[in-house]
Each structure stands twice: as C-alpha cells, then as structure tokens.
A and B are shown apart, each in its own frame.
Chain A
Amino acid sequence: MLASLGTVLTLARKDLLLELRSRDIVLAIVVFALLVITIFTFAIELTPSRSRDVGPGVLWAAVAFAGVLGLNRSFAMEAESNTLDGLMLTPVSRELIFFGKVLGNFAFITIAEIVIFPVFEALFNISVLQPETIVIALLASIGFSAVGTAFAAVSVRVRSREIMLPLLFLPTSVPLIMAAVESTSVIVNGGSWSDFSDWLQLAILFDVIFVIASAVLFQYVLEE
C-alpha cells in the first residue's frame, strides 16, 4: 500500500519536475482561462447583480476549457518524446501509472486555479475565495483530472488529438460542471452548505465513480 503510494508520488513528481522546468502546462491553462474570462467581461456588461448571475458559469467554463489544454499536454509530451513506451515498460501496474498521472494533472489544474480565482474575483467583483468554493474547486479538479487523464490517454494516438480530447472530455464532464457552477452560484449569492448539498453530492458521486471507472478502464487503454 505504502509502496504503491510511493510509486504514484514518484510518477507525479516526474511530471511536476518536468513542468517546473518547462512551465508549459500551468502557464497555458492560466493564460487561456484568463483570456476567456477577460473576453466575457467585454461580452457581458457587468453590473453587480449580473456578475453574480453569470460569473460562476463564466468561471467554470473558463476552467473547463483551459483545463483541456493542460490535459492534452500531459500525454502529448510523453508521446512526442517517446517516453510512453518507457512508462509502460516500467514494472508498475497500470492503475498506479493512472493515479500518478491524475495526481500530476490535479496539481496542474489546482495550481492554475490558485491564480485564476483571484483574478476572476477582481474582474467580476464577486467573492469566490471562500472555504465553500475551495471545496467545490478541489472536487471539480479531482473529477476533471480523472476523466481528463483517461480521455487524454485514449486520444493521444489519434490524429488531431487537440480536437478529440475536448469533444470527449467536455460532454462527459457536464454533470461536474453543472455542480461546480450551481454551487458557486449559491455561494456568491450568500447561501450556505445546506443550500448546495445536492450539488456537492453530485460532484462527489461523479468523482468517486469516475476515479474508480477510469482507473479500471485505464489498463485497457495502455495495452500491448
């Protein structure tokens, strides 16, 4: 058990180290998400009440769209440098490779969110930096990275994978995006935990099911 955890951490550490040197992924997610948010500040005339109405939707649409960019890179880099085969040759079970990748992607999305949220709060003038939003952001990041890692591995060998991944990832993540948007909406409108407990449940349900299902299916993705 502890050895498995060590393996997962080593694999995630590898991705983080690469990221620390290149800064490809997190920077791409942050810049793209901020661009989406900025464009929406022009597309919608923001009054305080309208900000609260549409802000949560804009925030999570930006995170979801930008997240796809980062997820795409996580396996594309392996494929480009021909390290995917090396990864598969390591005497490590597929589930652990999966969890290592999920942990890496989770870290990238979370780090990006740490930058995106304050800027969003400033641009939209609504307070999203609250304990409740942080919980929902963590749940969303877990789900995004679980589904995204599985689909990124599936689409890494397809031509035009940059198109394929969002087409697979976005509709599948709709329940999670719904949960994140609705919870954030309740929070910025002054609601408390009990007001969005249903959405919280949906997010947890999505995370549990897809972490397990993706881990099980991942062994069929990396085969041969």
Chain B
Amino acid sequence: MTALPKIRLIWLGVTAALMTLTLWMIFLWVPTEINQGNIQRSLYFHVPVAWVAMVAIVLIAVASVAYLTTRDEKWDRLAVAGAETGVIFAALMLITGMLWAKPVWGVWWTGEAKLTTTLILFFIYVAYLMFRAYFPPGEQRRRLAAIIGLIGAIDTPIIYYGAQLWERAHPSAVVGPLSESDSSVDGPIGLTLMVATLTFSVLFVYVASERYRLRKQEDEVTSILRAISLKRPRTPSSSMDNAETISSVPAGGA
C-alpha cells in the first residue's frame, strides 16, 4: 500500500525545507520594494500559486486524455488529485490577488484578465468536482468527468483571450495611489520569486501525490467492501448490515 514510504518522507522533508527557506527569503531576506512597501510581498505567494493552478489544469487535461484513450483508473485518480489541489490553489490565487489589489489599486476586484480567467476556471473545476460527487462511482463517472475536465482545459485559452479583450474594453477602475507603479522583477525580487515558484511547485506535487495515494486506497476499500457484500449469504438482516456498511464508507469521494 505504501510502496515507497521513504520517497514520500524525503519529498515531505524537501517541501518543508524549501518552504522554510522561501518564507525566510520572503519575510526576512528580500528587501522591501520601494513603491508598494510590504504589501508587494504578496507577489511571492500570488504568482507561484497562480502558476501551480495553471499546471493543475494541464495535469487534468493530460490525465483526462490519457484516461479516455487507455481507460486506466490511475489517470482518473491523477485527474481528481489535480482538480482538487488545483481548485485550492486557484482559490488562493484569487484571495491573494484581492488582498494585494485593495491597497495597491484601491479595489478588491478588477477586470484584470488573469484574475477573471482564474475565477471562471475556478467555477468550472468546482463544477467538475461537484459532478464527481453527485455521480455514482464507476466507469461512467470516470469517463464523463474526463470529458468535463477536457472541455474546461480547451476553454482556458478562449476564456483568457476573452478576458483580455474585456480588460481592454473596460479599463479597470483602479484608483489606488500606486496603480501606475510597476515593479521590476529582477535581482533579489526575481530570485525570491523563482525560489517561491519552485517551492510551491514541489508542494503541489507533494499534496497531489498524497491525494492520489488516498484516492487509490479509497478505491481499494470500496472494491473490498463490494466483494465482501457479494460473498455474504443473502438474509434480510445481513443485507441490511451490508447496506449500512457500504453507505457509511465514502464511495470514492469527489
């Protein structure tokens, strides 16, 4: 079950070490940006989580195509792991974006193309996860979910193109004192951003692989329970018991 516990442990250690280094760099090492002050440190969270959210969509798309062509359950597990983790990172991207926008641009929300795109993708993949939660587990759910995941990925560049046109047609109402200032990302700022992006990518791989592993165990439990319930003699009382046992187990989760 835990085929390579050592690798998982090492990966967790690497993630923790990198995260400590990143936090030190963000809050202690990197100099405060002149124009925006401390709030500019949001950059080191906002950009990496946005990057990870996009990586998650690519992962879902690849896993969905692979599932539809091979019908191997592992691809479906990978897509779920990517979607659940991706939705969380997309939410973090939106939250850090808003927290950063308020003091700098004077508004919580603007029609900025990347924010708009992430918001819509967030909705698409929340719907993807809801669909998985509503649908009874089995081959059909995996297949239909792969189709939804793929349509979402196909839609991504179109949404981004649309959001860019939208941004151009509606110059955002940014009124903050620093709305015109443009931070350059080189020197220590660039280095910190690079390290943070690496760290969040490593974190994503760790969280997604843990979710993948958990998913696999859930599938195993479900199939074992099904096998047990099929083997038992069918008396009224035992079939009741079985029904309860099965329903109390999360049927594969989202």
Contact = CB atoms under 8 A, between A and B. Distances in A.
A207 to B, nearest CB: 10
A206 B68 contact: no
A220 interface: yes
Interface in A166-207: 167-168, 170-172, 174-175, 178-179, 182, 198-199, 202, 205-206
B68 A205 contact: no
A223 interface: yes
A151 B159 CA distance: 18
Given A168-B124, A171-B124, A217-B151, 7 more contacts: A159-B135, A171-B127, A172-B155, A202-B162, A202-B165, A210-B151, A217-B147
Report the interface size class on chain A: 20 to 34
A150 interface: yes
Interface in B110-162: 120-121, 123-124, 126-127, 130-131, 134-135, 140, 143-144, 146-148, 150-152, 154-155, 158-159, 161-162
Interface string B58-87: 000000000010000000000000000000
Contacts of A61: none
B51 interface: no
A144 B121 CA distance: 18
20 contacts: A157-B135, A158-B131, A159-B134, A159-B135, A164-B134, A167-B123, A168-B131, A168-B148, A170-B123, A172-B124, A172-B152, A175-B158, A179-B162, A198-B165, A202-B161, A206-B158, A209-B154, A217-B150, A220-B68, A221-B143
A150 B152 CA distance: 13
B166 interface: yes
A119 interface: no
B120 A174 contact: yes
B169 interface: yes
A221 B144 contact: yes
Contacts of A160: 134
Among all A-B residue pairs, the 9 with the closest Cβ atoms: A175-B162, A171-B123, A167-B127, A171-B124, A175-B158, A178-B162, A158-B134, A217-B147, A168-B127
A224 interface: yes
A155 interface: yes
Contacts of B68: 220
A107 B229 CA distance: 49
Interface residues on B, range: 20 to 34
B16 to A, nearest CB: 35
A195 to B, nearest CB: 10
Given A164-B130, A221-B144, A213 B162 contact: no
A209 B158 contact: yes
Nearest to B116: A174
A182 B151 contact: no
A175 B155 contact: yes
Contacts of A179: 162
A223 B121 CA distance: 27
Interface string A104-123: 00000000000000000000
Nearest to A175: B162
Contacts of B158: 175, 202, 205-206, 209
A167 B134 CA distance: 13
A157 B161 contact: no
Contact of B147 (A157, A182, A221): A221
Nearest to B67: A220
Contacts of B143: 220-221, 223
Interface string A127-168: 000000000000000000001001100110111100010011
A220 B127 CA distance: 19
Contacts of B127: 164, 167-168, 171
B130 A167 contact: yes
Contacts of A210: 151, 154
Nearest to B150: A217
A157 B166 contact: no
Nearest to B145: A154
